[in-house]
Copies of this chain bind each other. A is one copy, B any other.
Amino acid sequence: MDDLGQADRAEPEDTRVRAARIQDVARLADVSTATVSRALATPERVSPEARARVLEAIAKTGYVPNPAARSLRSQKTFMVLVVLPDLSNTFFSKILRGIEETLFEAGYGMIISDLDGSPEKEAHFAAFTAAGRVDGAILLNGHLFGQSREGEGQPARIGIPLVALCEAIPGADIPQIEIDNRASASRMTRHLASLGHRRIAYVSGPANNILERERFLGFKDGLEAAGLPFDPALVIPGDYTIESGVAAGQGLVARNTRPTAVFCTSDEMAIGLMRTLLSAGLRVPQDISVAGFDDIEFAAVAEPSLTTIHQPRRELGQAAATVLIDLLQGRPTPKQIRLGTELVIRDSVAPPG
């Protein structure tokens, strides 16, 4: 019966080669499939001789375990979902790299979901995770799946480990990996003030964004620490994109009394804003200082080079992946990790003229 079964499928003269199965390895090594499986998963539980024969057979057949079968039985996928709001944003790419390399070393693959502000996409990926296609997820988008719907702090329960990266998720009982946005924004504001700036404008992120809220608080902290009044007229709405920086710049150019310094809460906005100021004939930093936030690659080669807050993006990604893997493997994890930032002083900020 066994032989018949084997013979049945033994038609290798067919056109294409079928991938080797665990049975093929077992037969070649003259052991059972259980031993093959054990030789790979728990080598210490298999005799050295058997192990050697199995490894040889694996090398000979080029056997690679079928992940679908493995996952079906063990309920593990060795896949992690990374949810982000905008894949084409420069800021995320280095973070992704940090995530990817850490996951890779631990044997996990990375599936990316670019939500792009679409609730249906979000619903799809919620179902996706619920269906057990991934073992865990890293959320860069600032909220849990379906949190908008459910109100409260009780969103659709996803039964897998989650980690929030960069954008902390208020009320969610999951590890948060982030920088201290408030302190960093305060730091930059104080730096500007310490150079003598008294009228400092603030180009914001999107309303309701958690980063924006923190940075805005930090901005006000900084003003207060420097003994400067807060003037709402100096708050310019933005959304972290180059385009919104350009728009903010146009608004500034049109004013008759201008601030002497502008603190943009992303480098992309700062670069877009500088561009607009320069085109209008203003000089940076002589006429107006511009500061950014993030320290993306282009900050150092902008003209003038950009004074900004450095975020350790790669390390943020690595930390998030590490925490998630610890969660997945049942190790204890911290509830919160805060990585330090640095004030990077370049040429776009100077004392007021």
Chain A contact residues, CB within 8 Å of chain B: 16-17, 19, 62, 64-69, 71-72, 77, 79, 87-90, 92-94, 96-97, 100-101, 104, 109-114, 116, 121, 124, 127-128, 130-133, 159, 242, 245-246, 268, 271-272, 274-275, 278, 297-298, 300-303, 305
Contact = CB atoms under 8 A, between A and B. Distances in A.
Given A66-B131, A94-B88, A101 B114 contact: yes
Contacts of A268: 297
A133 to B, nearest CB: 5
A96 B271 CA distance: 24
A111 B114 contact: no
Nearest to A89: B93
Contacts of A100: 87, 112-114
Nearest to A67: B133
Of residues A64, A77, A88, which shows the largest number of chain B Cβ atoms within 10 Å of its Cβ?
Answer: A88
Contacts of A303: 274-275, 278, 302-303
B96 A88 contact: yes
Contacts of A302: 275, 302-303
Nearest to A62: B130
B97 A131 contact: no
A96 B101 contact: no
20 contacts: A19-B131, A66-B72, A67-B133, A68-B71, A68-B77, A87-B93, A88-B94, A90-B93, A97-B116, A100-B113, A109-B128, A111-B111, A242-B298, A242-B300, A246-B301, A274-B303, A275-B301, A278-B303, A298-B298, A302-B303
